[in-house]
Amino acid sequence: MSQKLPLFILTLILILFAGCKAPLPELSPADQAAADTLDIPTEVLQALIAKPLYEFNEEDIDTYLPYLQYTIPDLRERMKHLARKNLGQPYEIYLLGEYPVEIYDRQPLYILDKSDCVVFTEHILAMAMGYDWQSFFSILQRIRYKDGVVSYINRNHYGEYDWFKNNSWLADDITNELGGKYIELDTSHVKKGKFFARHGVPYDMPEDSLEWSYVPMKAMPLVLSKLQTGDLVGVVRGYKHNNWIGHFGMVIKDDDGTIYFLHSTRPAVKQQLYLDVLDNVQASNMEKAGHNAPIEIRNAEIKLYNKDHKDDPKPYEPVKYYTLGYHFLRVKEDPLSTIMKEGQELRLQVLPIYSDAKKTSKRDSVLQGLKP
């Protein structure tokens, strides 16, 4: 009996602890007034305030967004609140697609429990502008797709070519204003037809190009103080003349002037001092330069060899890309007013139409031929 007593006591303790929950936070007078006004049960709002955003479900979003609209009237401050409430959200890349609207990419149209850099940025923006689940979901698709028309060919696949241009209703490009005489120009040559073909999407589009700009790393210390909460950041990556937007995040500026970079990256959403980010990037670029130097020499030799051996060329060795600088957008005061008239609501559109895109599948060609 004496040998069983400790086990019994241990079991009892485990049962008691399993039944214990951390007490919910008391609501402030302002939060209690919001709960009463919006008809949100006190214990429901307490639970939502206590848990991280990435543990919310759809019903939680539907309840929490009107509370935020009521208590935090400034859009950029709502972005700050939501971004920090999502710190620690697990990272995973390639999370969203068009399923079940289309079946080319069978990932869903939204996800709440994990993110990559683009998913994090777009979801925070849509939640900050939304006032319930329906508005959040509709705004999210308006951000992710050209004119909000859900289709793989309308998705903003390229940051510099698609995302910035198609979201001009949402944010203003402030890169040139911030960088001034220090900005660097680049030209992207986009071959979407080949991109679609690689992913098994039967559409073709003409090649296109776009000149765009970024603030180079050397000028960033002059730019930091000009940034504001909610500014969107496109991280420019590349090697020599092959540059692209390779990462997304957002700026948070505290009342004391401290500038942070919030983004989704391995292993989870994090907040970093922007100065620390710049220091880390400089160190990484130096390490990559040392790695690339001997490869560049060998690739130069391969280039000479291939000139004389066109029938049997050698492949070039891959190099590591650099972080070259940043592209910045500033969210408008009231983005939805630029695309909506009074009395209108955003609704999901499912019309896979892009004026320059032509479907190329054999099946569609046959069916078109059968039409009278």
Mean pLDDT within 31-50: 96
Mean of the pLDDT values across residues 120-145? 96
Looking at the domain assignment, is residue 4 inside a domain? no
**Residue 88 DSSP SS3:** coil
**With bands split at pLDDT 50, 70 and 90, how would you rate the model's confidence at 20?**
low
Closest by CA position to 351, among listed 94, 23, 102, 7? 102
> Does 8 fall in a domain?
no
Mean pLDDT of the region 130-154? 95
| Residue 7 belongs to a domain | no
* Domain that residue 299 falls in: 23-370
pLDDT band of 348, cuts 50, 70, 90: low
Query: Mean pLDDT, the chain, as a whole number?
Result: 91
- Whether residue 1 is contained in a domain is answered as no
**Is residue 90 in some structural domain?**
yes
Establish if 317 belongs to a structural domain: yes
What is the reported pLDDT for 6? Answer: 63
Overall pTM surpassing 0.75 (yes/no): yes
- Residue 139, pLDDT > 80, answer yes
Scan for tokens 């049962």, then name that residue: 15
Number of domains observed in the structure of the chain: 1
**294 in a domain, yes or no?**
yes
As a whole number, mean pLDDT of residues 11-36 equals 77
Residue 128, Cβ density class (10 Å: 0-12 exposed, 13-18 middle, ≥19 buried): buried
Cβ-contact 136, 65 below 8 angstroms: yes
Q: Please choose, from the candidates 358, 350, 366, the residue with its C-alpha nearest in 3D space to the C-alpha of residue 196.
A: 358
Measured distance CA(297)–CA(303) in Å, rounded: 10
Tens-place pLDDT, residues 243-272: 999 999 999 999 999 999 999 999 999 999
Per-residue pLDDT, 37: 96
Q: Let me know if residue 2 belongs to a domain.
A: no
pLDDT at position 2, please? 47
pLDDT over 70 at 3, yes or no: no
- Flag whether pLDDT at 113 surpasses 80: yes
